[in-house]
A and B are shown apart, each in its own frame.
Chain A
Amino acid sequence: MDPLLTRRSRGLMGISGPLVEIPPFPGTFPGQMVELTTGEGSVRSGQILEVARDKTTAQLFETTQGIDTDSSWVRYLPRTASLRLSREMLGRTFSGSGIPIDNMPPPIPESEKEILGSPINPVARDKPSDFIQTGISAIDLLNTLVRGQKLPIFSGSGLPSNELAVQIVRQATVVGEESDFAIIFAAMGITHRDASFFIEAFESSGALSRTVVFLNLASDPTIERILTPRMALTTAEFLAFERGMHVLVVLTDMSNYCEALREIGNAREEIPGRRGYPGYMYTDLAGNFERAGRIRGEPGSITQIPILTMPDDDITHPIADLTGYITEGQIVLSRELHRKGIFPPIDVLPSLSRLMNLGIGEGKTRADHRNLADQIYAFYARGRDLRRMEAVVGEDAMTSEDKKYLGFAREFEDSYLNQGQKGRSLAQSMDLAWDLFKGFPPAALTRIDRRWIQSYFPVEEEKETEGSQK
C-alpha cells in the first residue's frame, strides 16, 4: 500500500505525558492535525509539534491513557487545526475543540479557517474609540472600556469575577447605538457550576441566541485547552471582520490555559522559564490576546474580557504579569474589599484602562471625564496612604486635613464602589463622583480644569450642608 495515498502509519516510537513520538513520515509538517487510533479502536486527535528526519513529535489533545506503541495507527489529516465557521454558530454550544455538543447537527459552514490565525497587519488596525458603558462606575468613569479593547479581570480564588463579567456582558451598551452584536464564551477548565452560571446569565438576559459557547470543563482533557481560545477567537474574527458584528469574547479561566502550556513544556523537557512556565508563554498569550481590535474599513470589532485567577492573589505571578504586559489594561479585584462586603470589589489603584483616553472626553463622554478620574485617583491614593499611617500612629495623630482624605477614601469605597448589582449610567457615575468632593474647597481639586470645577462642583448642596450644620 502506498503510504502517501492512505497517509497512515503504524506504530509509535514513544509516549510521554501528552506527547507521542511517531516514526518519520513523508510530507508531515508542524501544526498538522493527526488522528491516533488505539489498538482497541478508540480515536484521539492530536497535532504535530515538531518534525525531524528521525522522528515526528505530536501532542494529543486527549489523554494518552491506554495507548501502546505497537498497535496504534496515526492518520495524517491534510490540514492544520481549523474550524468551520458560520453565522449559525450563534446560539450553539461546542466542545473546547470545536465539536458541537448540543445534540444538534453541525452548522452548515460558510467558511473554514485555520485556528492559529494570522497577525492583523498593524497598519490595517483602526484605533478603538467607542465608549462601552458597562454600568459599573469603577470601570466607566475610572477605567473606561472601549470597543476593540482587550481588558482582563485579574481575580483571586473565591472572588466574584464571574459575577462581574456577567454584569459587564449583560449591561454593556454603546450609548446611542443599536448594533449587531455577538458574545463568544470560551470556558477553559472551569467547573460545571461556573459554566452554567454564565450560560444561565446569558439566557436570562436574552443574549443566548447571540452567544457561541466553547466548553472545556475541568473534567475535560487539559491539552484541549490549548485549542479553546483559538477556536473562540477564530469565530470572533469571522463574525467581526467577515460578518460585521461587534463581538465580545469572554475567556475564562486563562490560568487553566497557562497550566496546559506548562504541562506541554514540561513534557517536551524544555528549559522552563519563571515558575516553570515556558519561556515562550508571552508570545503564546500575545498570539491570543492580540486577536482583538478593529480594522480600518470594517464595521465589526472584537472586544476581549479574559478572566484569570492570580495564584495566591499575587499580581507578579507570571500568568498575571505576562497578561498585563500584553492586554490594554486590567481590572483588579481585591480580597480586602470583598471581605468588607463591597461589590464589585474592584481595586482601582492597580486597575487601568490604557485605551480610556481614546473613548472619553468632549463629544464622546463629557469634557471633565479625564480630569475627574485623575482627581479621584489622587485623593483616593492619598486616603489609602493615610489609612496605613493611621493604623500605626492612631487617629489622634492625624491632622484635620488628613481626616478629610481618610473620609474620602471611606466614602469612595463604601458608597461609590459598592454599587451592588445595580447599573449606573455614566452621567450618574459622574454626578456621584463630583459629590464625593463635598467638604473639600474647590481650590483643592488641582487636577481638574477650573472650567469644569465651575460647571460641576456641587455648590448648592455644599451651602445646604453648611446650613444644616449651623
Chain B
Amino acid sequence: MNSAHRGSSMDTDGRISRISGSTVEAVGLPGARMYDVARVGHIGIMGEIIRIEKGVTTVQVYEDTSGLSVGEPVLCTGQPLGVELGPGLIGSVFDGIQRPLGALRELEGDFILRGTDVCSLDRSALWEFEPAAAEGDRVEGGDTIGIVREGGKILHRIMVPPGMEGLIQDINAGSFRIEDTVARLKDSGGKERELTLLQKWPVRIPRPCGRKIPPDRPFLTGQRILDTLFPVALGGAAIVPGGFGTGKTVVEQTLAKYAHADVIIYIGCGERGNEMTEVLQEFPELEDPQTGGSLMERTVLVVNTSNMPVAAREASIYTGITIAEYFRDMGYHVALMADSTSRWAEALREISSRLEEMPGEEGYPTYMGTRLAGFFERAGHVQTLGKEDRKGSVTVVGAISPPGGDFSEPVTQGSMRISGALWALDTSLAHRRHFPAISWTRSYSLYCDTLAPWFMEEVSEDWPEQRMNLNRMLEREKEILEMVQLVGEDAIPESQRILLLGARLIRENFLRQNAYHPVDASCSLAKQYWLLRAFLESYQVTLKALERISLENIMSLSTLSDLARLNEQPDDAFPEASREVLAKLGGEIDEMARQIALQKEALEKETAGGEAGKKEA
C-alpha cells in the first residue's frame, strides 16, 4: 500500500469525540505521540497532537473545524510538524504551516478554503546543481556537497543533513528536481543513504550548530537611533513593544528593507492582510542595499494573518525560525522579523484555555515564558556544523503588542528578560508623528559595551565618547524641560535655552527618521557619526556665541534651518556636508557679531554725532 510508510498508526481507527474551537479530541489512537501530525475528519485537515491523557488525544487543528462531526476518523501520521528546506524557499510566501499561498490561490481562488494539501516547495522545478564534493570524500552533517543558484544572489548550499555522515559513493552535476537523488553516501554502518536537494526538519526542535560566537558585531539597521543608541548584536534579539499605531510594523518593515543581512525571514503573525500585500508588492521593486538584486530575492515570508486559523498562527514563528536556521547553517546572516510575538502568545493562550489548563497571569498558560524563551534562544551567531569554517547568524526582532500599551503585561515582561535590546515605542511620540517613536529614555541595549570595540575600529575611535555626549545632552534636556514645565522657558538661563535648541535639533533631525523619505529612510554609520558630530558641535558653537551675540540672534541664524535638513543629505555627502554646515554656522555667527559691532559703533557714532549736532544747533 502506498501510504504504508506513513506509519503503522494508520491502521488504528481513531474517532473524533469532541470539537471545541480549534481543538479536537479523539479516542482510539493508542499509537499517538506528542507533537506528531494528525489528519482529522473525512477531509483530512491537518493538526498536531498536543495532549494525550486517559485514552483521549487532543489535536490542535490548523484549519477551521466547523463542519467536522463527532465520530469522523482521526489518523496519526507518525511524523512531527516539519518544514521543507531546499531550493525554492527564497521569495516564497507561506502560511503558518508552510503551505505556499501562491499555489494555494491557484487551487482555491482568492479565498482560503479548507483541506487543501500543497507541497511547500515546488516538486517540478528544475535546479542546476554544481557539486562541491567528489566521490570518495568523507562528509558529515553540515558539509556542503554542492551549490544551487536560486534566481537571486543567494547561493543555496546543499548540505548533508545534521546527523548524517558517510563516504560519497557518487555525486552528479546537472538539473534536478528537489526530490531527485544528487549524491549517494555509505555511512559508517555500511548503510547507503541518498541525498536530495530537499531536507525536512521538525519545527519545534532547533537545528543543531557548533559553538556560539560572542556578540561582538552589530546588526546594522540603518536607523540612527538604533545603531547609535540601542544597537543589537548580530545574532542577538531585540524586542519592539508598543501600543497600536506606534510604529512596530514600520520598524519591522524598514529593517527588512535596509538592514544588513543576507536573508530576511518576515513573519506576519496574527496581523493585517494589507500589510503583507504592501510587502509583497513593494519588495520585488526595491533594491537590496547590499547586493543590488531585488529585495524579494533575499526574503521569505511566513504569513498567518489575524483572520487565519489560530493554531497555524501558533506554529508560524517556529516555521519561520526553522527556515532562518537553515540559511544560518549555510553561513548566512539571517534577520528574522516577527510581527507580532504577542499574537503568537495569544494563540497559545486560546489553545490552552480550550484545553482547560490552569491559567497563569492574564490567562496565559504558565509555560508561556518558557516557550517564549525557547523561541528567542534560537537566535545566535554561531559556528555552523560541518568541516568548513562557516559562521552564520540569526538575529531576531520581535514586535510586541501590549494590551492598552501597558508594558507591565506578561508577554512584554517575559520577552524583556530574554532579549538583549528593548526598543520601546512611545504613544505620545507617535501622536506627534515623531517617528520612529522609539523612546530614548525607556529603551536600552545590553550589547553596547561588547560592540564598542567594533564601532571604534570601523567608524571612529571616539564613537563611544560621542554616544556618551549624545546621552548626556538628552538627559540634560529632560531635566531642563522638567524645570520649564514649572516656570516657563523665559525664566531659565540663556545657556539652558541654547541646550534646548540643540537638543531639539537632535531629536528632530537625528533621532527622528522618516521611513518614507527617499534619502532619510536609511542612514550609513559614517553619516550617523558625522551628523551627530555636526549637531553636538553646533551646540558648543552656539553656546559659545552667547558671549558675542544675543539669544534672539542665535535663534534667528539661518544656518539652523540647514542643520535641520542635514539628515536629508545622502550618505556620500558626508563628512563634507557636516563640515560645510559647521563652517557656515561659524561664518554666520562671526558675520552677525561683526554687524552687531558695526551697528553698535554706528549707534554710538550717531548718538555722539547727534549730541554734537545738538551742540552745534
Contact partner of B433 (CB less than 8 A), chosen from A24, A124, A317, A377, is A377
- Interface 9-mer from A210-218, A248-256, A285-293: A285-293
A414 adjacent to chain B (CB < 8 Å): no
The stretch from B47-55, B98-106, B147-155, B318-326 touching chain A is: B98-106
Who on chain B is nearest to A296 by CB? B110
CB pair A29–B19 under 8 Å, yes or no, is yes
Pick the contact of A280: B69, B350, B564 (CB < 8 A). Answer: B350
Whether the Cβ atoms of A374 and B305 lie closer than 8 Å is: no
Q: Which of A161-169, A170-178, A190-198, A320-328 contacts B (4 or more CB under 8 A)?
A: A320-328
Task: Closest B residue to A81 by CB, please name it.
Answer: B66
Q: Which residues from A are CB-within-8-Å of B243?
A: 321, 324
Complex CA gap A316/B561 in Å reads 38
1/0 per residue B266-289: CB within 8 Å of A?
001010111011101100000000
| Contact mask for chain B residues 105-143; partner A; CB cutoff 8 A; 1 contact, 0 none | 100111111000000000000000000000000000000
The answer on a CB contact under 8 Å between A393 and B487 is yes
Interface residue tally on B, bucketed by range: 35 or more
Kindly name the residue among B277, B486, B565 whose own CB sees the greatest number of chain A CB atoms within 10 A.
B277
Which positions 270-311 of chain A face chain B at CB distance < 8 Å? 270-274, 279-280, 282-283, 286-287, 290-291, 293, 295-296, 298
In the complex, A389 Cα to B488 Cα: how many Å? 7
Contact A28 B362 (CB under 8 A): no
A121 to B113, CA, bound (A): 9
A279 touches B346 (CB 8 A): yes
B516 near A318 with CB under 8 A, answer no
B17 contacts the other chain (CB 8 A) = yes
In the assembly, what is the distance between CA of A318 and CA of B182, in Å?
Answer: 56
- Which chain A positions have C-beta within 8 A of B353? 270-271, 279
Instruction: Identify B305's interface contact among A51, A290, A324, A355, CB under 8 A.
Output: A290
Inter-subunit contact A398/B490 (CB<8 Å): yes
**Residue of B70, B71, B243, B343 ringed by the most chain A CB atoms within 10 A:** B70
Are A122 and B303 in contact, with the CB atoms below 8 A?
yes
What is the CA–CA distance of A325 and B406 in the complex, to the nearest angstrom? 14
Chain B min CB distance to A149 (Å)? 8
In the complex, what residues of A have CB within 8 A of residue B102's CB? 123
As a 0/1 sequence over residues 318 to 355 of chain A, the CB contacts with chain B under 8 angstroms (1 = contact) are: 10011011101110000000000000000001101011
Question: Which residues of the other chain, B, contact A280 by a CB distance below 8 angstroms?
Answer: 21, 310, 350
Assuming the contacts A122-B101, A280-B350, A381-B433, asked whether A287 and B307 have C-beta atoms less than 8 A apart, the reply is yes
The answer to whether B310 and A80 touch across the interface, beta carbons within 8 angstroms, is no
- Residues from chain B with a CB closer than 8 A to the CB of A283 are 270, 306-307, 310, 346, 350
Binding stretch for chain A, among B330-338, B397-405, B454-462: B397-405
Contact of A31 among B66, B108, B488, B561 (CB under 8 A): B66
Interface status of B349 (Cβ within 8 A of chain A): yes
Residue B581, interface by CB 8 Å: no
CB distance from A439 to the nearest CB of B (A): 15
Pair B350/A392 contact, Cβ less than 8 Å: no
Residues from 394 to 447 in A contacting B, C-beta threshold 8 Å: 394, 396-399, 401-402, 443-444, 446
Q: In whole angstroms, how far apart are the Cα atoms of A358 and B114 in the complex?
A: 32
Which residues of B sit under 8 angstroms from A49, Cβ to Cβ? Answer: 20
In angstroms, Cα B74 to Cα A69, docked, is 33
B34 at the interface (CB under 8 A from A): no
**CB under 8 Å from chain A, chain B span 19-76:** 19-21, 25, 64-71
What secondary structure prevails in chain A residues at the interface with B?
A: mixed
CA distance in complex: A200, B418 (Å): 57
Q: Is B208 an interface residue (CB 8 A)?
A: no
B562, closest chain A residue (CB): A443
Nearest chain B CB to A272's CB is how many angstroms away? 8
A80/B67 contact (C-beta < 8 A), A29-B19, A397-B487 known: yes
With beta carbons under 8 angstroms apart, the residue of A50, A298, A329, A398 that contacts B488 is A398
Known: A286-B306, A392-B485. A271 touches B359 (CB 8 A): yes
A388 (CB) vs chain B CBs: closest residue: B485
Does A127 contact B105, Cβ atoms closer than 8 Å? no
B291 contacts the other chain (CB 8 A): no
Q: How many residues of chain A get a CB closer than 8 Å to chain B's CBs?
A: 83
Decide yes or no whether B489 CB sits under 8 A from chain A. Answer: yes
Flag whether B491 is at the interface (Cβ < 8 A).
Answer: yes
Contact of B277 among A126, A399, A443 (CB under 8 A): A126
What 1/0 flags go to A121-149 for Cβ under 8 Å of B?
Answer: 11111111000000000000000000010
Q: Which residues of A contact B105 (CB under 8 A)?
A: 121, 123-124
Contact B307 A286 (CB under 8 A): yes
Q: Which of the listed residues B270, B276, B431, B558 has the most CB atoms from chain A within 10 Å of its own CB?
A: B431
How close is B90's CB to chain A, nearest CB, in angstroms? 16
Instruction: Verify B273–A293 contact, CB threshold 8 A.
Output: yes
A120 near B111 with CB under 8 A, answer: yes
Establish whether residues B432 and A122, one from each chain, have CB atoms under 8 Å apart when the complex forms: no
Interface residues of B in 447-500 (CB under 8 A from A): 484-491
Task: Say yes or no: A122 contacts B93, CB within 8 Å.
Answer: yes
Would you call B488 and A24 a contact (CB within 8 A)? no
The residue that A354 contacts in the complex, of B69, B245, B362, B560, with Cβ under 8 A, is: B245
The 3 A-B pairs at the shortest CB distance, nearest first, are namely: A397-B488, A31-B66, A381-B432
Interface residues of chain B, those whose CB is within 8 Å of chain A, are 17-21, 25, 64-71, 93, 101-102, 104-105, 108-113, 243-245, 268, 270, 272-274, 276-278, 280-281, 303, 305-308, 310, 343, 346, 349-350, 353, 359, 362-363, 401, 403-406, 431-433, 484-491, 508-509, 516, 555, 558, 560-561, 564-565
16 A-B pairs (CB sep. < 8 Å): A120-B110, A121-B110, A122-B303, A123-B280, A125-B273, A125-B276, A127-B277, A280-B310, A286-B270, A298-B110, A321-B403, A322-B403, A350-B245, A357-B516, A392-B485, A446-B561
Besides A127-B281, A287-B307, 19 more A-B contacts (Cβ < 8 Å) are A24-B70, A29-B66, A30-B67, A80-B66, A121-B101, A121-B109, A122-B276, A122-B305, A123-B102, A273-B362, A279-B349, A283-B310, A286-B306, A321-B244, A321-B405, A324-B243, A443-B560, A443-B561, A444-B561
